[in-house]
Amino acid sequence: MTQTVSPAAAALLAFAAAVAAPAGTPADPIVDSKMTDVEAFDGLDPACPKDLRDRQTVVAVTYWGFDGKLHRGQLVADKELEQDVLAVFEVARAEKFPIRSVVPVSHPRFRKNGKWDDDLSMAANNTSAFNYRAVTGGTTLSKHALGRAIDVNPLINPYVKGKLTLPPGATYDPAARGALTADHPVTKAFLARGWVWGGNWTSLKDYQHFEKPVK
């Protein structure tokens, strides 16, 4: 029996194919973030000095998600560090290290009362860098305020100080997928480029955190 497809049905099928979900392949990655520069800095704390803002650039990065598919996101960081970031993400891809998402903290879903909110970004397990804010639990400026620090998979790599764990409810299991350890290739790739890992600190552990000191 031969089935014929009506023109209307054919049009519908063509439309469905056109809007089909991305494949998550190198040719067709899933887009987690595709902001314009204006969007990436929208809502930035007005206290951020202009020269600091002007040092920041939006870096497009590609990574494997926990779904086994290739994703495309964006990281805002000091432009001096762009090549380091790209090189480390290359290692992460080669290692099939899964990353949940890489979306600037300016995204509406990470806003609280209009302001960029690191707690919301961490709770979403989102990887991010630039954020004009103080250090966790303090008043001095964080290296994130300079665009010189990156937090990777925060829900899997929490900040631990005494009994305080952030994001709340997170636990650090070095064997978990997406967890960072001292000898992990991603950690080593950062360290080889002069970055410091918060998991090596002794007063507290910030397993998600990498920063590059100013020389």
Question: Which residues are near Zn ion by CB under 5 A?
Answer: 149, 151, 209
Beta bridge partners of 62: 72
Query: What minimum distance in Å lies between the beta carbon of 79 and Zn ion?
Result: 19
Distance CA 210, CA 150 (A): 5
The answer to whether residues 124 and 32 touch, using CB atoms and an 8 Å cutoff, is no
Beta strands at 70-78 and 30-31: parallel, antiparallel or unpaired: parallel
Residue number with CB closer to Zn ion (145 or 149): 149
Query: What minimum distance in Å lies between the beta carbon of 103 and Zn ion?
Result: 16
What are the angstrom distances between the C-alpha of 17 and each of 21, 28, 60, 184? 9, 14, 27, 40
Q: Which two tokens stand for residue 36?
A: 């314009």
Residue nearest to Zn ion (CB): 209
Beta bridge partners of 149: 211
Residue number with CB closer to Zn ion (11 or 134): 134
Residue number with CB closer to Zn ion (14 or 214): 214
Distance CA 105, CA 99 (A): 16
Residue number with CB closer to Zn ion (105 or 149): 149
Query: What minimum distance in Å lies between the beta carbon of 90 and Zn ion?
Result: 21
Residue number with CB closer to Zn ion (69 or 193): 193
Picking from 159, 149, 130, the residue whose alpha carbon sits closest to that of residue 45 is 130
Beta bridge partners of 134: 141
Query: What minimum distance in Å lies between the beta carbon of 174 and Zn ion?
Result: 18
183: CB partners within 8 A, 6+ apart? none
Residue number with CB closer to Zn ion (84 or 151): 151
Query: What minimum distance in Å lies between the beta carbon of 142 and Zn ion?
Result: 7
Query: What minimum distance in Å lies between the beta carbon of 209 and Zn ion?
Result: 3
